[in-house]
Structure 1
Amino acid sequence: MCEENATPKTLLVAAFEGWNDANQAATNVIRHLVSRYESQEVRHIDNEDFYDYQVARPMICSVQGRKRIIWPRTTFYDIAVSPVLHLLAQIAPEPNYRWKEYCTQTLHIAEDYGVNDVITLGAMFDECPHTRPLPLDISKSGCECESDREYNGPVGIPNILDAFASEAGLSTMSMWVSVPHYSANAECMQGTLELLRALSVTIGYPLAEGDLIRKAAQWRAQADELVASTHTGDYLARLERDYDLDAQAKRIASNGMPACEELIREAESFLRDGV
C-alpha cells in the first residue's frame, strides 16, 4: 500500500522527569524528537493539584526583558515522523499527587487522538559499565521482561500509566535503559540514543538520530575521564566482567541450554564474591 493511501496512525510515547529519568536519558528522547521533526504543542494537563511545588519547583525566566513564571505541567506534542505515522509525545515532571486521576486524564487525551498503542520510556541508575551497550529492558502487553518478573518494590508513574492503559484495553510497551550510577552528573546521551533506536524498531520506522551519535561519544569520553580521575578502573573491570558473563549466559540460554545459564550465573556469583 502506498503511504499516501495508508491510514494514519498515532502512538502515545511518554517520559517523565525525576525518579524515572536517570541522567535525563528518557525525557531527552522526547526533546530530541521535538527538535528533529515537525511538532506542535497540542494539549496540556495544568491541574496544580498534581504537584508539590517544593519538590517540582516553578521556574522563573526572562522573556524579552519581562519576568515569567513557568509552572510544572504536562505537555503533549503531535510529532509527524512520516505522513502516516504520528507520535503523541507526553513529557512532564512526575506528578506528586493523584496519580489515578492523572493517568485517567492522559488516557482521555490519548483517546481524542485515536491512540491504541502506549509506549512509556524510563531510565534507572544501575551497576553497569559505560564501555558496553547499556542494558535495555522492554516489556510488552502481557509479556514481562526478566527484570519485571524478578522485581518487587516501588514503581513510578510510567508503570502506573502502563497499567492503566493495559486495563483500558490498549496495547502497551515499556522501555527502560540502565545508566551507570557513577556517571550521575552528566546527561546520558548514550541512554537516549539506545532508547531512540529501540523505539525505532518498535514503531517500524527509522527515527532520525541527528547529533545523538556525537553526543553519546562525548558522554563515553567523559565517563572514561571520570574513571581515570577517580582511580576506579578495578571497579569498572569488575562491572565489565559481570556484564560479559551475563551476556554469555543469555546467549547460551537463547540456544535452549538453561542449565548452562545457571552454571554461568553460579560462576559469576563465585567470582564476584571472591573479589
Structure 2
Amino acid sequence: MTDSIFSAEYAERRAGVPRGVPLVVAMQGLSDAGGAVSQLEEYLWERCRPEEVLRFNADLLLDYRARRPVITFDEDHLVDYSPEELTLCVARDELGTPFLLLSGYEPDFRWDQFIDTVLLLVHEFEVSVTVWTHAIPMPVPHTRPISMTVSGSRDDLIEARSVWRPTTKLSASAGHVLEYRLHSLGEEVVGLALLVPHYLANTEYPEALYTSLDGIMAATGLILPTDDVREQSRQFHAQVDTQIADNQESLEMVQTLERRYDAYMEDQSVRSPLIGEDGAIPTADQLASELERFLAERQSGSGDEEAGSPGS
C-alpha cells in the first residue's frame, strides 16, 4: 500500500508529455444532467486516442461504499472487475493536435491534495487553458439551443456565450474548486455549465454532448468532429417532439417554457429564464413531478426502441 496520490509509472512517462497544450477535465460527480459529462468522457476516449500519463490512487480518493465498482458473476465465478479510474492522459484531436485529458471519478476524499497535485501538473506542463464542463437540470425547452453559464478567465467567451449569470450559493464540486484555484493563480481557465431541460435530465441527451464539444473547441481551438453527434441529436429531438405532440399536458408545458425562454432572451432585464409568468420560480417538487410524468409517458409510449432512455 502506498500513500502516493498517483501511480509510480508517472516518473517514466512525464518526459513525453507535451508542453503548452490545453487541459480538458471530464470528471463525473455532482451534476451530470443529460449525461453531458459521461457522454463527453466516452466520446473523448473513443475518438481522441488517449495515452495514460498517470493514474490517481483510488484507495486514497474514492469512497467505494458510496460508488461501488462493478463486477460480473458468470454462472459460478466472478469476472470483469471494473474499478473506478481517474487518469491524466495525452489525447489528440481530429488534426492530431495534442491535449491533456483528466477524466474519471470526482474524488471523494483529499480534495486539497488532489487539487494541489493538478495545479502542479498544470504548472509543470505549462497548460495553456483548462476547460471543464458540467450540466444542471433547468426548466428550459428542448426546442431551443442549450444555453450555458460560462465562468473563469476568458471574458470573450463569457460575453459571447454566457446566457445566465446568477449570483448564488451552491454545493461545490472538485471542478468548481479547481477552477477557483486556477483563476486565483492567474491561470487561464473556463467553466461551462450547461442548462439542460429538466425533463430530459435523466436521459443521455445528445445535444448536451454537442454543446460541450462546441464550448471546448471555442475555449481551446481543438477540432473535435460533431457530425455524428448532431445527427443523433436530430433523431433524438424528432422522437421527443413526436411523443410530446401526443400529450396535450406535456405540449403545454413545453410551450410555456418556450415563452419564458424567448422572453428572457429578448429582454436581458428579466431576472432569470426560470421565472414563470406569475413571477414565481418552480419548486423542486414541481420540476420533479413534471420530469417523472414526462419520462413515464415517454417510456410507455415508445418501447424498447426509445432513444436516450433514462440511465440506470
Residues 149, 183 of structure 1: CA spacing in aligned structure 2 closer, same or farther, 3 A cutoff?
A: closer
Residues 62, 108 of structure 1: CA spacing in aligned structure 2 closer, same or farther, 3 A cutoff?
A: farther
SS in 2 for 1:38: coil
Write the distance in 2 (CA, Å) between the matches of 1:89 and 1:146. Answer: 27
Write the distance in 2 (CA, Å) between the matches of 1:75 and 1:81. Answer: 18
What RMSD, in angstroms, separates the aligned Cα atoms of the two structures?
Answer: 3.1
The answer for the alignment partner of 1:161 in structure 2 is 178
Q: Deviations over 1:174-229 (max 9, x none)?
A: 01111111113320110110111122122234321141111112332343245346
Picking from 213, 220, 224, the partner of 2:241 is 224
Residues 183, 83 of structure 1: CA spacing in aligned structure 2 closer, same or farther, 3 A cutoff?
A: closer
1:147 Cα deviation from its structure 2 partner: 4.5
Write the distance in 1 (CA, Å) between the matches of 2:277 and 2:28. Answer: 37
The answer as to whether partners of 2:22 and 2:127 remain within 8 angstroms in 1 is yes
Q: Does 1:32 find its partner at 2:38?
A: no
The answer as to whether partners of 1:34 and 1:77 remain within 8 angstroms in 2 is no
Write the distance in 1 (CA, Å) between the matches of 2:81 and 2:236. Answer: 32
Picking from 206, 211, 215, the partner of 1:189 is 206
Write the distance in 2 (CA, Å) between the matches of 1:126 and 1:14. Answer: 23
Picking from 250, 262, 273, the partner of 1:244 is 262
The answer as to whether partners of 2:153 and 2:183 remain within 8 angstroms in 1 is yes
The answer as to whether partners of 1:120 and 1:174 remain within 8 angstroms in 2 is yes
Alignment of 1:59-138 (within 5 A): 59-61=70-72, 67-81=79-93, 85-138=97-150
Q: Which runs of 5+ in 2 are unaligned?
A: 1-17, 281-312
Query: For structure 1, which segment, 149-158 or 241-250, has the greater mean C-alpha deviation from structure 2 after superposition?
Result: 149-158
User: Aligned AA for 2:277?
Assistant: L
The answer as to whether partners of 1:58 and 1:72 remain within 8 angstroms in 2 is yes
The answer for the alignment partner of 1:170 in structure 2 is 187
SS in 1 for 2:50: strand
Q: More strand per residue: 1 or 2?
A: 1
1:113 Cα deviation from its structure 2 partner: 2.8
Q: Deviations over 1:64-114 (max 9, x none)?
A: x97132222212221122678422111122222221112122223333433
Q: Which runs of 5+ in 1 are unaligned?
A: 1-6, 251-260
User: Aligned AA for 1:191?
Assistant: A
Write the distance in 1 (CA, Å) between the matches of 2:165 and 2:65. Answer: 32
Q: Does 1:18 find its partner at 2:29?
A: yes
Query: For structure 1, which segment, 154-163 or 105-114, has the greater mean C-alpha deviation from structure 2 after superposition?
Result: 105-114
Query: For structure 1, which segment, 195-204 or 236-245, has the greater mean C-alpha deviation from structure 2 after superposition?
Result: 195-204
Write the distance in 2 (CA, Å) between the matches of 1:13 and 1:202. Answer: 10
Alignment TM-score, normalising by the size of structure 1? 0.80
Query: For structure 1, which segment, 104-113 or 158-167, has the greater mean C-alpha deviation from structure 2 after superposition?
Result: 104-113
1:18 Cα deviation from its structure 2 partner: 3.1
User: Aligned AA for 2:147?
Assistant: P
Q: Does 1:139 find its partner at 2:156?
A: no
How many aligned residue pairs are there? 255
